[in-house]
A and B are shown apart, each in its own frame.
Chain A
Amino acid sequence: QKEVEQNSGPLSVPEGAIASLNCTYSDRGSQSFFWYRQYSGKSPELIMFIYSNGDKEDGRFTAQLNKASQYVSLLIRDSQPSDSATYLCAVNRRDSGYALNFGKGTSLLVTP
């Protein structure tokens, strides 16, 4: 069983719509959850992190965490073409000083 799973996509949404990206993880004891955005040829950029169950909002981004279901999601409101990128979900490895296990990413395409 893969430790962090994401749908590879591509997920295509029209400009102005809400993009919903999902992630599941296998380690029930994980405590820290991250969303990174990666443009082609660039390194990952941290956009959100969440530690507690519930929602966390930052501008157009909302991270949602449900530890009972081992599920993390990222909502992007008012999607823009500049949001087109690969979104990586990451979960801390408790046995390794908070090194991260990454999903393979979901490719998002926002069409004008």
Chain B
Amino acid sequence: GAGVSQSPSNKVTEKGKDVELRCDPISGHTALYWYRQSLGQGLEFLIYFQGNSAPDKSGLPSDRFSAERTGGSVSTLTIQRTQQEDSAVYLCATTSGGGDEQYFGPGTRLTVT
């Protein structure tokens, strides 16, 4: 596709349930980043992929969070046993690697009730 896409656009889940958030990068973009934007907290880095490997997972807030990337393309962010504090907009961004300008997808708004 022409841009970064994310699905679902909105997700409402009950506390304790697991959720999966998906990111489809711009074709050919090798680097992929996940961020989280909470109300009043700004954008927070979660994890970075180069190809299928994740050299930096330092931003993941707890071991309930994990992510993978397959085929150097689609990435999935999984949150297990969701908590109310996980409610946020989860954003995916990609870059071609030739430059470090990042382009964001539309985000997934997660609400944990």
Show the binding face of A for B, using Cβ within 8 Å: 32, 34, 36, 42-46, 49, 88, 90, 92-93, 95-105
The reply to whether B42 and A43 contact each other, CB–CB distance below 8 Å, is no
Number of A-B residue pairs having CB atoms within 8 Å of each other in the complex:
60
* A49, chain B: closest CB distance, angstroms: 5
Knowing A96-B58, A97-B31, A98-B95 are in contact, say whether A46-B45 is a contact too (CB < 8 A): no
Mask, B77-113, CB within 8 Å of A = 1, is 0000000000001010001000011111111000000
18 of the cross-chain contacts (CB-CB < 8 Å) are: A34-B101, A34-B102, A36-B104, A43-B105, A43-B106, A43-B107, A44-B91, A90-B43, A93-B45, A95-B56, A97-B31, A97-B55, A98-B31, A99-B48, A102-B35, A102-B44, A103-B42, A104-B42
Across the interface, which residues of B come within 8 angstroms of A42, CB to CB? 106
Query: Which residue of B50, B55, B102, B106 contacts A100 across the interface (Cβ within 8 Å)?
Result: B102
Q: Considering the complex of A and B, which 6 residue pairs feature the smallest CB-CB distances, nearest first?
A: A102-B43, A104-B42, A98-B100, A96-B56, A43-B104, A99-B45
Assembled-state Cα–Cα distance A97/B86 (Å): 25
The reply to whether A44 and B95 contact each other, CB–CB distance below 8 Å, is no
Query: Which residue of B59, B89, B103 contacts A46 across the interface (Cβ within 8 Å)?
Result: B103
* A45, chain B: closest CB distance, angstroms: 7
Across the interface, which residues of A come within 8 angstroms of B59, CB to CB? 99
The reply to whether B48 and A44 contact each other, CB–CB distance below 8 Å, is no
Across the interface, which residues of B come within 8 angstroms of A100, CB to CB? 33, 35, 43, 45, 102
Assembled-state Cα–Cα distance A49/B100 (Å): 9
Knowing A42-B106, A45-B104, A46-B103 are in contact, say whether A96-B42 is a contact too (CB < 8 A): no
* A72, chain B: closest CB distance, angstroms: 15
Assembled-state Cα–Cα distance A31/B42 (Å): 21
Assembled-state Cα–Cα distance A104/B55 (Å): 26
Across the interface, which residues of B come within 8 angstroms of A102, CB to CB? 35, 42-44
The reply to whether B101 and A46 contact each other, CB–CB distance below 8 Å, is yes
The reply to whether A88 and B43 contact each other, CB–CB distance below 8 Å, is yes
